[in-house]
Structure 1
């Protein structure tokens, strides 16, 4: 309860500071305050296009997140078992970690168009995060436990449940927390550049075109809330496993 109170006070303090700065600047184009932002959010939420954009963007980003996670985990297991696979994938993983998202977005726009670009970008961003964390977790697994499982002929499913998952759990938790935030950042950025219709990225771009700073902040709050909820759900699932 004390932690909740402290966090609530901190959040309220920043909101008050935000409102005071907005009042001092007194220019809604340069900086819209929290009151104007909430009003814009309420106004946007009354339109069908708002909810369509939220569902489309969220669905595509989560699909890309899922694909990148599955591919990263599977390839990490293969790389752990076959060292030549790890060596083969190392340049690709390094490139995906280092190359700016904008470069990939422009290239993918040329190849595939804008409709599903956020799915591909999210998968590309998530893959190296899950791959590297899973590989590190597998390498840190207690060798003695694996030898014991081999001696007692423990089935693969029980070995996964009682040896690998406990070892991988902290790696998965940190990886998924980072990956879900990066998914929304990169996915929205891809939409802003690619401009697929009825998406959050398109809404952000239109806010910039029409100098609607309150709408810009409102869309941003929506992204932060969706990312926060998804992170909490994923963390709870990992804790249950």
Structure 2
């Protein structure tokens, strides 16, 4: 009798799980639909502007139609100039991101875990965070010269502050009850950090890394204004000086695509770290 009841309960549980979780094929179709939905807005705007220019509703002189921008991108790609600028920008962002994120993680971790260090460091760092990025440019040129070191340093500064704030804030917002549970089970400091603090901090820490990466792409524009001869920022300046709005918009679109690709790679590479989360967005 007991075995029969257990079997019925197990069957009911499997049925409920099947109802709660859609089939794999259905989930895949839903995911694909959502990905395609993200392309709708930019494509719709591009098509509408192209039609407006072709039918004489707009001149398209200062804001060229997408066909002209695409032609400019294609010409830059065929000559190899585009890839040279893309690689220069990507290399600067990568190095600046690694340096800035490393500093933000270390100082954010120290500031969030030790009150004395936080009281010592945080006021100064918060004051430095309020300085506009462009204000660092003459100082970095004076200290590091006009070449790569000053550009990478400026990007690292832009990445550092959101990562620092995210890490320190994530540590300070850990639920006190979780720590108390670990202390009740007499976990060592290492096991407490590994089993409780690290999983609690990771989601917000990864968001801060994404914010830092986004600011890295913003700061690289200012960095490449500092006498650069390569990079998408240089392509922007060259287009402005030569009166080529199609080149300016081509560089902006290249920035957008490169930034989105870098963000997607960061999300994809860090997804296994938070796979244990059971959040609403995974079930919608």
TM-score in terms of structure 1 length: 0.88
Deviations 1:26-59 (A, max 9, x none): 243x111111111100111122333222112111
Find the counterpart in structure 2 of residue 183 from structure 1: 216
Q: Find the aligned partners of 1:162 and 1:40 in 2 and give their Cα distance.
A: 53
Q: Could you tell me how far apart the structure 2 residues matched to 1:132 and 1:26 are? A: 46
Q: Which position in structure 1 is the counterpart of 2:42?
A: 11
Aligned residue among 129, 137, 141 for 1:109: 141
Gaps in structure 1 of 5+ consecutive residues: none
Tell me which of 174, 178, 183 is aligned to 1:145: 178
- Counterpart mapping for 1:213-232 below 5 A: 213-232=245-264
Contact 2:161/2:212, CA 8 A, preserved across alignment? no
Match of 2:124 among 80, 92, 114: 92
Alignment RMSD = 2.1
Q: Greater relative contact order (Cα 8 A, min sep 6): structure 1 or 2?
A: 1
Runs of 4+ in 1 over 6 A off after TM superposition: none
Question: Unpaired segments of 5 or more residues in structure 2?
Answer: 1-31, 274-284
Distance 1:66 1:198, change over 3 A: same
Structure 2 vs 1, CA of residues 59 and 67 (structure 1 numbering), >3 Å: closer, same or farther? same
Match of 1:25 in 2: 58
Deviation at 1:21, TM superposition (A): 4.9
Measure the CA separation in 2 of the matches of 1:95 and 1:58.
29
Report the CA distance shift for 1:100/1:20 in structure 2 as closer, same or farther (over 3 A): farther
Q: How many Å separate the matches in 2 of 1:73 and 1:174?
A: 13
Partners of 1:169 and 1:238 within 8 A in 2: no
Do structure 1's residue 121 and structure 2's residue 121 form an aligned pair? no
In the alignment, the residues of structure 2 paired with residue 163 and residue 153 of structure 1 have an alpha-carbon distance, to the nearest angstrom, of 10
Cα distance in structure 1, aligned partners of 2:116 and 2:193? 23
Give yes or no for contact 1:96–1:124 (8 Å, CA) kept in 2: no
- 1:207 and 1:80, CA in 2 relative to 1: closer, same or farther beyond 3 A? same
Asked if structure 2 preserves the Cα contact closer than 8 Å seen for 1:195 and 1:201, the reply is no
Q: Tell me the CA shift for residue 169 of structure 1.
A: 2.5
Find out whether 1:40 has 2:90 as its counterpart: no
Aligned with 2:207 (options 166, 174, 182)? 174
How do residues 196-215 of structure 1 correspond to structure 2 at under 5 angstroms? 196-215=228-247
Larger Rg: 2
CA positional deviation for 1:155: 6.8
| TM-score normalized with structure 2 length | 0.76
